[in-house]
Amino acid sequence: MTRLLPFLMVLVTTVASAKDLSEFSVPSDDYLVTARHVSEGPIVNGQIVMWVGKVEDVSVRQRADGATTLEWFCEQHLFEVAPQLPLVEPLLLKAEPTGHFVITLHLPTLSVSEVEEKIVKSLKSPAWVLVRGEPVFAEEWKGIKAVFLHSLTATVSDTVKVELAK
């Protein structure tokens, strides 16, 4: 629960305003590797990626243990040029997607309907995920191969400014 609380605080504050992106400014993170590349090869232990993805689908379900799980399925877009650190808006991304990834949030104290009402329905399209995380495994998610990440820092926002390069 102690790991969940900071994530929820980041999530709630960034849904309203995604201006401070300094948490994602770690020079050693791999922002060049694609989700497609990671999903086709062995997972590298200790690799930390910084990815941006457009939310393509959301799944909310109740697990067998009663906890509610929220998954964001994202289409990854690489940075057009090396990102300026600390990150600043707008994020200039390549228009061509480079794979898919999933971030998962476990919310043991909320029901499925509460998660849908408080989190999912409040996001407008397009929503973007900015995540620093470790690839854990790759498998199909609704028929599409995706990398599942253990997020170290993540934000889901419909207000972050993104420009797709032509």
CA-to-CA distance for 60 and 133, rounded, in angstroms?
21
Q: pLDDT by residue for the chain (166 residues), tens digit each?
A: 444 434 444 444 344 344 578 888 788 999 999 999 999 999 999 999 999 999 999 999 999 999 999 999 999 999 999 888 888 899 999 999 999 999 999 999 999 999 999 999 999 999 999 999 999 999 999 999 999 999 999 999 999 999 999 7
Q: Coil, helix or strand for 78? A: coil
The tokens for 136 are 């854990």
Assigned fold of 49-164 = OB fold (Dihydrolipoamide Acetyltransferase, E2P) (2.40.50)
CA-to-CA distance for 23 and 2, rounded, in angstroms?
18
pLDDT at 147: 98
pLDDT at 15: 42
pLDDT at 18: 42
Q: Which long-range contacts (CB under 8 A, 24 or more apart) does 41-48 make?
A: 43/135, 43/136, 43/137, 43/138, 44/135, 46/134, 47/134, 47/135, 48/132, 48/133, 48/134, 48/152
CA-to-CA distance for 133 and 147, rounded, in angstroms?
11
pLDDT at 55: 97
Selection from 49, 54, 55 nearest residue 83 by Cα: 49
